[in-house]
Amino acid sequence: MTPESPDEHELAELRAKVASLESRESRPRHRVRSFFAILLIVLAAVLTPLAVVASWSRAQVTDTNRFVSTMAPLASDPAVQGAVANRATSAIMDQLPVSDLLNEVAPTDRPALNAALGKVGPALTDGLTGFVHTQVLNVVQSDAFAGIWETILRDAHAAFTKVLTGQGGGAVQVKGDTVTLDLAPVIAQVKDRLVANGLGLAAKIPEVHTDFVLVQSEAVKKAQTGLRLLDLAGFWVPVLAVLCAVGGILLAVHHRRATVGAALGMAFAAGLLGIGLSVFRAIYLDKLPADVDQAAAMAVYDTLVRYLRAAVRMLLALGIVIALAAWLTGSGRRAGWVRQLWQAGLGSVRRAAEGIGMRLGPVGRFVHRWKAWLGWGAVVVAAIVLLTWGYPTAVVVLWIAVVLLAVLAVLEFLDTPAEEPGGTTGASDGGKAAPA
């Protein structure tokens, strides 16, 4: 071994000093990058619940069909049907001109009729109320009620937009801390049914506008303010949340770790929103007035927030899938072991198939050469499908992940290295691993 010359020794020392200086200079730079990366990822997590609520409110305001599909299931809910029947019956009885019955009796017979009514009047009123209530129930429990309810909802949609902006009017109104729905079409249908069943007196009932309470809470005014701000932000809150997450990942020193953190952080924030919806549900029902039907109020609340809950479940599933994918494609020992197990298992299946005469030929060599590009192409297609899906759910996310996993498994199965001159197989230039 020849001894180093003085020049070579000095050069080695100089390189060591340069490497040391670069290491010292990079540490503060990395700390600054990591700080801002963490800040952006935390901001993305904080914006996630707001983005979900903003998307929900925007969809309810701009999409009539979405609003109708949200509220339509209430037409078949027994608790809501009962509450609507009770409210409509009360309104009809208030307007039913029972005193007009006396006008049809001869003046000489009225004293005797008044005396008789004094004894049986309460029973007669109860019987008439029961008859009206039965007819109302027949309407709200019929197949026709779904159409009536949908008509009310479509007519109410424009007014519902005003609810979010704090204004009233139309079929949906805001009165103090209460959001109500006008049941005039239901009462009109019941009026026709009463006349058809022999109660001609119902024909004298004027057009009745009565309210069915959708929401009653002290938080209505606060919700109006918050929803108004989110509605103004609209599309940009979700975009800002995604941009913050992407910016944090790109700025981070370790991109895959940042991806895992961002995905789990945003999923966790969405989960907190789901917990908040459940907690608020209990508080909301507990503070309702005593005369409000608890079962109907519960059904209305659950119906109003069901798409919010679906979005929460979707984000939880998406966050877990992205975090798992980022971890599996990382350089960690356990992730590498999982990838090796995946490749070995599918490789064994391929070799077994080759052993019984299956030959992939040019297809296998093509896949081996372009497997990385094909794999990332499948990932891009899966992302496009998810982004263009109208209203993805957790089930949609999981199915997209399963299909993507199946495509990657097929690519791994088809991956056949080209044979080398010695009869062995080896990797070609493009044989980089596809995403696991």
Q: What is the pLDDT along the chain (436 residues), one digit of tens a residue?
A: 455 555 666 666 667 666 665 555 555 667 788 888 999 999 999 999 988 888 887 777 667 788 788 888 888 888 888 888 888 888 777 776 655 554 444 455 445 545 544 444 455 566 677 877 888 888 888 887 888 888 777 766 665 566 555 544 444 555 555 566 667 777 777 777 777 766 666 666 666 666 666 655 555 555 666 666 666 666 788 889 999 999 999 988 888 889 999 999 999 999 999 999 999 888 878 877 777 778 888 888 888 888 889 999 999 999 999 999 888 887 778 888 888 888 888 888 878 877 787 777 788 888 888 888 998 899 999 989 988 887 788 899 999 999 999 998 888 888 877 654 444 444 444 444 456 5
CA atoms of 80 and 294, how far apart (whole Å)? 10
- CB 196: neighbour CB atoms within 10 A? 11
pLDDT in the model for residue 259: 92
| E-strand stretches of 131-259 | 172-175, 178-182, 211-216
pTM of the model: 0.70
- Phi–psi pair at 112, nearest 5 degrees: -65, -40
CA atoms of 195 and 58, how far apart (whole Å)? 43
- Contact (Cβ atoms closer than 8 angstroms) between residue 148 and residue 164: no
Of 27, 41, 64, 82, nearest to 298 (Cα)? 82
Q: What residue type is 8 in one-letter code?
A: E
- Contact (Cβ atoms closer than 8 angstroms) between residue 387 and residue 401: no
Could you tell me which residues come within 8 angstroms of residue 179 by beta carbon, excluding any fewer than 6 positions away? Answer: 163, 172, 173, 213, 214, 215, 216, 220
Q: Given CA atoms 90, 94, 97, 102 in this order, what sign does their dihedral have? A: positive
- 258-292: pLDDT as tens digits: 999 999 999 999 999 999 999 988 887 887 777 77
- Contact (Cβ atoms closer than 8 angstroms) between residue 50 and residue 242: no
Q: Exposed e or buried b for every residue in 90-123, given b needs 16+ CB within 10 A? A: ebbeebbeeeeeeeeeeeeeeeeeeeebeeeeee
pLDDT in the model for residue 176: 52
Could you tell me which residues come within 8 angstroms of residue 349 by beta carbon, excluding any fewer than 6 positions away? Answer: 413
